[in-house]
Amino acid sequence: MKKVIFGLLCLSISAAVSAQDGKTNAPAAPQPAAQTPPPPPAPPKANPNAGKFKFTEETHDFGEIPEGPVAEYDFEFKNVGKEPIVIQEAHGSCGCTVPKWPQEPILPGKKGVIHVAYNSAGRPGPINKDVTINSNAQQSPLVLHIKGTVKPKPAEPVAPAEKK
């Protein structure tokens, strides 16, 4: 009798452990096929009548400039599109490059200027900075570039120490 009770106890414990592990003798239910995600929505079509920038140059090379003064350049452009260009924002790739842009819409056929100032103080070496323009134009965002080399200030001579 003890053997029968002990056997039933072992069988019930084994069944309970199997059920907790998810291991049953029942056949597994078929898994549904993996669904592929829907394709991403198509990007909005560009407005063919939107304003369009035409810059005289999109990269300006300052060449060699001395360390210290602010180097400035005006990127001139014309709106060659059919609708006004509104520039919402422009920013430099770092705090040393500061753009100023027209706040009013640039009408078709009219010109505008993006003024860029680069602070060379404490920055000897190569310049390679970007200015990103966000607008309603066909080419948005548009990136302008400045480059050049900042020549370090000459070392100041150290005065000899006075003798006592």
H or E stretch at 6: helix 2-21
Phi, psi for 12 (deg, rounded to 5): -70, -35
Full-model pTM: 0.65
Alpha carbon distances (Å) from 124 to 62, 70, 92, 155: 14, 13, 18, 13
pLDDT in tens, the chain (164 residues): 556 555 555 556 666 555 555 545 555 556 656 677 776 665 556 778 888 999 999 999 999 999 888 999 999 999 999 999 999 999 998 888 899 999 999 999 999 999 999 998 888 999 899 999 999 998 889 999 999 999 988 777 666 666 65
Structure tokens at 128: 């390679």
Which candidate, 155, 144, 82, 152, places its Cα nearest to that of 116?
144
| CATH code for residues 53-151 | 2.60.40.10
Decide if 149 contacts 126 (C-beta within 8 A): yes
Name the residue ranges covered by the structural domains of the chain.
Answer: 53-151
